[in-house]
Amino acid sequence: MNFISTHGNTPPTSIDSALVAGLAPDGGLYVPERIPALADMRPRATLADTAYAVLAPYFAVSSLRDHLTDICAQAFSFDAPLRPLAGEGDHLLELFYGPTAAFKDYAARFLAGALAALRVPEAPTTTILVATSGDTGAAVAAAFHRRPGFEVVILYPDGRVSPRQAHGLECWGDNVRTFRVAGSFDDCQRLAKQALADEALRRARALTSANSISLGRLLPQAAYYAHAALRFRAEHGVALNLIVPTGNLGNACAALLARRMGLPIGDIRLATNANDVLPRYFAGGGYAPQPTRATLANAMDVGAPSNFERLRQWHDNDDGALRAAVRADAVDDATIRDIIHAAPVRHGIVPCPHTATGLHLLERLRAQGDTRPWAVVATAHPAKFETIVEPLVGHAVVPPRALADCLRRPASAHALANDYGALHRRLQAENR
Ligand SMILES: *Cc1c(COP(=O)(O)O)cnc(C)c1O
């Protein structure tokens, strides 16, 4: 299996080089040349087994082939349970039992395992530079923490993440360095892009990113959808419909990929926060990126969803076909607050602000008389957003064990001016 670029100007390449490269040389995103079919796949005992079965076709020609079982076992070592909610047919797909209590842990750990296995022992240390709005940086830091041959540099917008998100970004040490930038997430992203495009810097050190455009962050996410849907069909005889809280479209693309592989997934609905580029597009408007707006669901504060190109390419760049395949709705902050406040009584759970956008879509579908089984994807644990969630539900929310472990570690970050010169000096100073 080869991988091609959404821009079409890169020769087909192996999964190994696509993983190492991240972005294709022509500036496009890598996608599989064809999508393998797993229509007759049977449910597997564990999430790791399912992950292996789903990912194996993509790694059929790869030096990672013989490592894939181990990489999946390590990345998918915590469960992704499908929990029934209070309402008939309502479910929550809980993806928050990893070290940083968000779904990004699965794929970040997969990518780390894959890059570690691809690494040549005597190669210079690879610096992974991540701009984060809160969750990505923590997941990448946790995944690469203490891995020989790698160091992680995190840039996050000072004061714009929750206190526990900040802790999750700052509690690693060793080969992880965290900078709180005096600026917005967009500023952090601009600084990271500038460094990644800095030829002189790249000559001096092996620099790469680990953002959600990497195939290593995208493909593994199909595993938990496959696992949940296969088990659901075995038990109930029907496909599971999915509501995915969405920002950069990484998790949503994985759900679509799983469905296109023939796994028993029915409808897919996307929930965004007030950043409504996708809802406008799916309602028939053009695709018009906007400046990012800050919302309560900060990990979804995206004005130009980076995986949109993949979604379009999978539908032959035909807007009509794409609009027929998925739909998206925006949920504003006032509604997010209402949903969090009402969820313990209505659904029997406390949701994080991101998950709340999905719950709102579920409520709308039920109000319209939809009786199909739906799973809302719970993208993070509510304890990670305690300053928003706790006042709304009126009690403390206990962190899951892995997050509690991380919160017990000491945390520290370096302040960084919103200025490329400052970042460049820090990266140079720490050169080995
Ligand atoms: C990253 C993130 C999202 C958005 O996921 P995308 O793959 O960017 O669409 C939603 N919720 C949480 C908690 C996240 O961390």
For the CA of 135, the closest atom of ligand 1 is: 15
Total-model pTM:
0.95
pLDDT tens by residue, the chain, 432 residues: 999 999 999 999 999 999 988 888 898 899 999 999 998 899 999 999 999 999 999 999 999 999 999 999 999 999 999 999 999 999 999 999 999 999 999 999 999 999 999 999 899 999 999 999 888 999 999 999 999 999 999 999 999 888 899 999 999 999 999 999 999 888 998 899 899 888 888 888 888 888 778 899 999 999 999 999 999 999 999 999 999 999 999 999 999 999 999 999 999 999 999 999 999 999 999 999 998 898 999 999 999 898 999 999 999 999 999 999 999 999 999 999 999 999 999 999 999 999 999 999 999 999 999 999 999 999 999 999 999 999 999 999 999 998 999 999 999 999 999 999 999 999 887 644
In a domain, 385, yes or no: yes
Helix (H) or strand (E) holding 241, with range, is strand 240-245
Q: How far apart are the first and last CA of the chain?
A: 37
Q: According to the model, what pLDDT value does residue 432 have?
A: 42
Whole-number Å distance, alpha carbon 110 to ligand 1 midpoint, is: 17
Phi, psi of 128 (to 5 degrees): -100, 115
**SS3 state of residue 401:** helix
The DSSP result for 276-337, as a single string, is: -HHHHHHTT-----------SSGGG--SS-TTHHHHHHHTTT-HHHHHHH-EEEE--HHHHH
Q: What type of residue is 401?
A: R
Report CA 10 to chain centroid distance, whole Å. Answer: 25
Q: According to the model, what pLDDT value does residue 296 have?
A: 95
In a domain, 331, yes or no: yes
Whole-number Å distance, alpha carbon 238 to ligand 1 midpoint, is: 27
Other CB atoms within a 10 A radius of the CB of residue 147 amount to 18
In a domain, 344, yes or no: yes
Angstrom distance (rounded) from CA 352 to CA 383: 8
Angstrom distance (rounded) from CA 27 to CA 23: 6
Range of the domain at 98: 73-103+216-405
Q: CA-CA distances (angstroms) from residue 422 to 70, 246, 358, 427? A: 40, 33, 39, 9
- Angle of helix 250-260 versus helix 222-236 axis, rounded to 10: 50
CA nearest 354: which of 47, 133, 81, 75? 133
The CATH number of the domain holding residue 248 is 3.40.50.1100
Q: According to the model, what pLDDT value does residue 211 have?
A: 76
Q: According to the model, what pLDDT value does residue 429 have?
A: 76
Q: According to the model, what pLDDT value does residue 430 have?
A: 60
In a domain, 221, yes or no: yes
Whole-number Å distance, alpha carbon 430 to ligand 1 midpoint, is: 31
CA nearest 350: which of 374, 386, 375? 386
For residue 161, give both structure tokens.
């993440």
Angstrom distance (rounded) from CA 326 to CA 344: 29
Whole-number Å distance, alpha carbon 260 to ligand 1 midpoint, is: 21
Whole-number Å distance, alpha carbon 301 to ligand 1 midpoint, is: 9
In a domain, 366, yes or no: yes
In a domain, 117, yes or no: no
For the CA of 250, the closest atom of ligand 1 is: 7
Q: According to the model, what pLDDT value does residue 196 have?
A: 85
Structural domain tally of the chain?
1
For the CA of 249, the closest atom of ligand 1 is: 9
* Unique residue bearing structure tokens 């292996």: 52
For the CA of 134, the closest atom of ligand 1 is: 15
The DSSP result for 171-195, as a single string, is: S--TTEEEEEESS-HHHHHHHHHHH
Dihedral sign from CA coordinates of 154, 160, 161, 163: positive
Q: Which residues line ligand 1 (CB under 6 A)?
A: 102, 104, 135, 212, 245-252, 299-300, 354, 379-380
269 forms bridges with which residues in the sheet? 243, 327
Out of 185, 215, 251, mutate this one to test ligand 1's pocket (max ligand atoms within 8 Å of CB): namely: 251
Angstrom distance (rounded) from CA 105 to CA 395: 27
For the CA of 247, the closest atom of ligand 1 is: 9
Out of 29, 248, 268, mutate this one to test ligand 1's pocket (max ligand atoms within 8 Å of CB): namely: 248
In a domain, 208, yes or no: no
